[in-house]
Amino acid sequence: MQNEARLLHVTGTVQGVGFRPFIYQLAQAHGLFGYVKNLGNYVEILIEGNPDSLESFLRDLPEKKPPLAKITELKIKNVLFSAYSKFIIVPSEPGAFENSIIPPDTAICEQCMSEIFDSASRYYHYPFTVCTNCGPRYTTVRTLPYDRENTTMADFPLCVECETEYTNPLNRRYHAQPVCCPKCGPEIWLSDYEGNVLAKGYEAISKASDFLQQGSILSVKGFGGFHIACNARKEEPVRELRRRLVRPEQPFAVMAKNPEVVESFAELEGAGREYLTSRRRPITLLSMSKEFNLAKSVSPDLHNIGVMLPYTGTQNLLFDRVPDAVYVMTSANLPGRPMVIENKEALEKLNGIVDFHLLHNRVIANRNDDTVIRIVNGRAAFIRRSRGFVPEPVELPFEIEASIGVGAEMNSTVTVAKGKLAYISQYIGNTNHVETFRYHSEVVRHLIRLTGIEPLHWGCDLHPAFNTTRFAMNMGGKNTLQVQHHHAHMLALMADNSLPLDSRMLGIALDGVGYGSDGTVWGGELFESSYFGYERLGHLLSQPMPGGDLASKIPSRMVLGILFERLGREELEKLPLIFPQGAMEFSTIMKQLEKGVNVVQSSSTGRVLDAAATLLGICGIRTYEGEPAMKLESAARNSIRIVDLPLVFKKAEKSGVPVLDTTELLLGVYELLGKYSSADLAFAVEENLAKGISELAITLAAKRGLETIGLSGGVAYNDHITSCIAGTVREAGFEFLAHRQVPCGDGCISFGQALAAGLRVEPEGKA
């Protein structure tokens, strides 16, 4: 049989994941000759040998690839036989590195874990132990190509033993850029709040563990930033942490050693278990078990809790002496601000918050917060897509020109895209804060530099006052496209589900706030949407928000706004509402509503849910984003009977499109107060609102001849509402779409903006 040759180009996550040594070993196993080399944005492979061996090699390549490798495209071409005498790994060549994919940070693998706990290993108790199958990647990268000298590991020259492993193609640490050992790698130490060193190495971790058990509060430096940790099993340290952070109610994520410990306080099954235990190690929201045995103040008045397993060597070693421990692990930042990443910064900014610091001297090149996932309607929904997933690209169902989306204001991300790949940044936060906006600008520059994509087109929000909007206008000039907030949601949803370029669907966007093309605040929208435009076909009734944004922080204002025209002042005064300034504030709001002064109109679904939570006495003041609606959902889970509430549709006065009258819904709650439990009425609000939205969507879709109905927006994180909409839509014979790879909240906005800009969509174009 005559020998033949194949030339392969492999695109995807194939750098820094042991791909070239895998190819080397696979070629040897099949008796093939040739070479493998890295060309920046792809790997080139030449294999030569008998045809049967070539075919076996090609079958095994995608099936047996390294665990962190991801192949997005494999091109195979027959070429002339060159008669190589062996198979070799060719050193990296300088390339354009455009669309070069850096692997995300992943949890320490089982092999490295076993070495850390093996007293005979040179890696014994060394927390920075890694190989090609695990460890930090993205958070270490300063520039491309992804070689050690371009990462923060350049600060730690390899010792002889590590150099030997690093240069041996048969070793699992071959070209693992973060590889190191106690002789040549980063150091870890424990300090007091003033920075005085108390212990080093494993002793530092052991003392930190002891301090946590005793009730102290510590900062712990990880891959992409700092956590603040305390003992989650005891009320006193958790309450003290809340006092120091001034976070009276916001839920804390916790970390446990393994699934067995998690099962002692949370329900762990199905997709929740799958994501929690994956090598990406996201924070996974799980329902609390009946035997919940942690401090109740970890997640006040909620039915679920954010849980993650340890993903660094340090975190695993913190459980070495107390395997049944559970620690609060919350990001070291103020809400909406960037997470702390530098030792000096931690000592300064966390002064008065933590008692001790567990520090190391590896620089964090890229801040990267924990990913947060919730299982909604049986599948994973990203609340925050960050560590473990970034900068892994999202594949597009079509090609677009080089573009960038700069995101919204809250929960912001950045997306750069070109061809069929879109790179969504890590979670950034609230760009209304100067510090976060500065970080946003850094992320833009870094993402452009790492991907090599110079954007020709810029996409931003329609809101003129957003810092991100002004930034894009300044950077992109005439090549900047302003994209309506909820159309960005729809574009992201369509591409997330790989809908082709000529697709149309009925899109439901339910969230807290989005600047509408008519100058009002939108948030309960039904669109006919395509990639090139949208038409607003229906929405929730626009409701008055007295005091504007204050109504989102003090939801009692929304109750007055919604019920003002239906109830007299005397009745409104009797409602169980909370105002920080008491009767004086109530009177001021009534005057605002009577005169129409300082009142913003909003069709927001989030504000309606907030108002219901307040009217039912579930949450009077919002202390963190989404709190009233989240507590409403938790309360609804305790419902024991079905309650019907009014569903009234009418025509909007100006546009003439159908609207769902949420005043009637809330008035129904008011009339049933005291007749049913708050849990029953909370369930009824969610159920009837979801059914009303579903019925309107089904009617509009049928009228327009649309076969697909999709849901996006922050309200889609509500499992009850989403499941009800999905079930109703499917029962009516329509296809239902939800997000798959990107958040359904504002974390997807930059993705939708980049798509609109790259497709050069006309603003306010009709679907």
Angle between helices 556-563 and 662-672 (to 10 degrees): 110
Give me 438's structure tokens.
């500065």
- Spans of the chain below 50 pLDDT: 96-98
Q: How far apart are CA 311 and CA 227, in angstroms?
A: 13
Confirm whether 430 is a catalytic residue.
Answer: no
198 within 8 A of 192, measured Cβ to Cβ:
yes
Backbone dihedral angles phi then psi of residue 202, each to the nearest 5 degrees:
-60, -35
Tell whether pTM > 0.85. Answer: yes
How far, in Å, CA of 147 to CA of 249, rounded?
44
* Local structure of residue 713 (DSSP, 8 states): S
The residue extents of the domains of the chain are: 4-90, 188-373, 393-497+745-759, 521-528+536-737
Query: What's the token pair of residue 423?
Result: 């790179």
Whether omega for the bond prior to residue 145 falls within 30 degrees of 0, making it cis, is yes
pLDDT at 315: 98
pLDDT value, residue 94? 57
Q: List, for residues 216-261, the tens digit of each pLDDT value.
A: 999 999 999 999 999 999 999 999 999 999 999 999 999 999 999 9
Choose among 439, 444, 446: nearest CA to 459: 444
Q: Which of 3, 6, 20, 438 is catalytic?
A: 20
**Fold for the domain defined by 4-90:** Alpha-Beta Plaits (3.30.70)
Q: How far apart are CA 754 and CA 439, in angstroms?
A: 19
Selected catalytic residue, list 38, 41, 99, 377:
38
Q: How far is CA 156 from CA 130, 166, 184, 313, 363, in A?
A: 14, 14, 6, 18, 11
Q: Are 44 and 37 in contact (CB under 8 A)?
A: yes
The pLDDT tens digits for 92-121 are: 665 544 455 788 999 999 999 999 999 999
Q: Classify domain 521-528+536-737 at the CATH class level.
A: alpha beta
Say what the pLDDT of residue 95 is: 53
How are beta strands 533-540 and 521-530 bridged, if at all? antiparallel
Domain 188-373 classification at class level: alpha beta
CATH number of 393-497+745-759: 3.30.420.360
281 carries an active-site annotation? no
Domain pair 4-90 / 521-528+536-737, same fold: no
**Helical pair 749-759 and 485-496, crossing angle rounded to 10 deg:** 90
